[in-house]
Structure formats: structure tokens, C-alpha cells
Amino acid sequence: MTWKIPLFKIYWDESDVEYVKREIESGMNWAVGPNVIKFEKMIRERVGTDYAVVFNSGTSALHSLLIAYGINKGDEVIVPSFTFISTANSPLFVGAKPVFADIEMETLGLDPDSVRENITDKTKAILPIHYGGCPCKIEELKDLADDYDLVLIEDAAESLGAKIKDKNVGTFGDSAVLSFCQNKIITTGEGGAVVTDSREIYEKLLLIRSHGRLESSDYFSSLEPFDYVTLGYNFRMSNITATLGISQLEKLDKIIEMRRSNSRYLTENLNDQIDKIIPLKSPNDYYHVYQLYNVLADDRDELMKYLADKGIMTKIYFDPVHQTYFYKKKLRYNVDLPVTTEIANKILTLPMYPGLQKDEIDFIIREIKNFYRR
């Protein structure tokens, strides 16, 4: 279907085209190359960590990180059900068990009280997400992880640039994961990264992402022999992809401000005109980057259909993971998550992207208003 207003559009400019074109025309370094290292340097400097390692997806990054922390069979990892399924699946990749805790109403992130109730002697890590560009209650979760000596991994796939006061998301936990999939704050089409202050974890990740190969130079242009010291995967990000990431990251502040400006305009108009739809707001001192723009809507499913008929795309982010066929029927999960269920039944993601125009936002507002007036 061709949408009048899609859920998202990628923000790009001529620098993206030029950077990638230059790498293609070089005829070299399409797989590995210097821009992978440059992109990693830019990421760690922007987030404020000592190390960054890029991957071919956020899922690969998270999978690798759990391996690096030695999480495996018999271990438990506390995760939200209100998330993209990758968050919950990643513990399964390493033989661990995802344990679902409930979310809280303010940020839609993991509820620290629910997390505490789910900690057992098998718990090895807490894996919260920063939902839709809004930081979760990560400070409380950090205290909890410290109290129980647990690894805290931030799933910041949707929240590059978000912060609490002056502290960036991705710097609260032991490590964090970013995503550069096409609908994220910046994009390389597909891609991801881990940021961390741990030299040990950094060195393990380098091995895991590239076949367990101990590298001191470029594999494709070196005469020296390379040894393989552990089991690894082909999770590398290509040099061409990293080149696009560099160009995108240079525009990060501009992209975030465009998102925040459009979100402010949408919120102001929804607040002024409609009483059956509630825009989600972030707490004071939370810097929200609006990778997703979410509302809680009465008659949500009917509103979705109505807007679709008008050419406006919306989506439900997210249907709870524990209610999917795989988790419910195959893995036999049966958990009670009342806040997750309540939110999932009312959440609706409206179109939001840097290039969204005010007349397009006005059109969205008008049609929502028309729906509730019927």
C-alpha cells in the first residue's frame, strides 16, 4: 500500500550519497576498512564510553554481548515483554532463560519493583529497554543490579542521544546495545553497536564478531598468519555500511531536534483538541529523542483502521512477547503482566520522522479529531 503519510521516512542528504559513492568507487575495503574504526570512535565519543564495537545488526550485538558476559545454560535474564522480540530472544540464543518482568506506566520501561520480585539465585543479568527514545528508570535499575551483583545491559536500540539530565543513555549499565536499523534515530539500513567501559568485554566482542580470529591488522590486506582462539561468528559491519553511519552520525543533533520539534507540535495539538487520546510524556530531566511517537488511545483498533483508510499509517509497538505463539505455545510461558497488558491494549504509534511537515501533522490531527467526533 502507498501511504499518504507513512510511519517513518529515512532522513538522508547528499553527504550520505557522496560518502558511500566514494567508498564504492575506491574499489577497495567494501567489507572491512578504516571507516569501521572511525565510526566506532565517533560512537564512543558521542555516547561517552571507553569502547564501541559495531555489528551487522543490533540483535547480533546483543547476542555477542551475552556471550561476552558468559551468560549461558541455567542462567536467567530479566527482560520486558513490552519490547521487540530480539530483546527476549537473545538469552535463548545462549541457552539462558528470559524471565519477564512488568513495566511501569511513566516511561513504559521495566518496573524496578517487578524486577526485584523476579530475581532468583539463577538471575545473572537485567536487560531493560529504553522504549521509543525515552530513558527508562535506569537509575533505579542500576541500584538494583548493584544490590544483587547482576550485570545490567541497556537495550538502547531506539534511544541514541537520549539522556537523563546530562548523562547519556548507554552509560548507566555495564554495557549497552544500539541499533541502526532503518527506522532508528540514525540508520545504516541494518547495523548495531555495543558501547562499554570494559576492556575485557571489548576484546571478547572483537573475537566474537569475526570468527574468533585474533587480528592485529586487516585480514584482507595482510601477509601475516591469523590464529583462531575461540568460537566466533560473522557479525561484522561492512566498511561501506560504516561509511553511511559516519555521515548519519554527523547529523544526529539535527535529526533529534527535528524529531523533538515535530513531537512538540503534535503533542500540543493533541492536548488542545482531543480527550480520548493521551500522548506519552517523559519525566522531568529526561531527554526524549522520539524514535517513536506514542499515544494511549480509546477505541485503538478502530482508530487504526480509520486512519489507514485515510492513508495514514500507524502501528502497535509492541504486542507483548509473552503472548506470541512461540512463547505461549512452544515455550509454555504463562505470566501475569497487568501493566504490560493494559498498555499493549491501548498503545498506538503515530507517524514520526524528521521530515514530517506541519501540514501533514495537521492532517493527522484533523483525522484523529474527526474519528472521535463520529
Count CB neighbours of 51 within 10 A: 19
Closest of 201, 354, 203, 251 to residue 42, by C-alpha: 251
Residues of the chain with CATH 3.40.640.10: 14-249
The series of mean pLDDT values per 10 residues for the chain, 374 residues long, is: 94 98 94 95 98 98 98 98 98 98 98 98 98 98 98 98 98 98 98 98 98 82 84 97 98 98 96 84 95 97 98 98 98 98 98 98 96 91
Q: What pLDDT was estimated at residue 273?
A: 67
pTM of the entire predicted model:
0.96
Under 8 Å between Cβ of 286 and 132: no
Pairwise CA distance, residues 6 & 323, whole Å: 27
Closest of 115, 65, 56 to residue 87, by C-alpha: 65
Under 8 Å between Cβ of 283 and 45: no
Residues of the chain with CATH 3.90.1150.10: 252-373
CATH number for the 14-249 domain, one of 3.30.300.30, 3.30.70.990, 3.30.420.40, 3.40.640.10?
Answer: 3.40.640.10
Question: Per CATH, is 252-373 categorized as 1.10.1740.10?
Answer: no
The stretches of the chain forming alpha helices (DSSP H) are 14-26, 34-47, 58-68, 85-93, 112-118, 138-148, 199-208, 239-249, 252-273, 300-309, 325, 338-344, 358-373
Under 8 Å between Cβ of 46 and 249: yes
On the CB side of 335, CA atoms within 13 Å amount to: 25
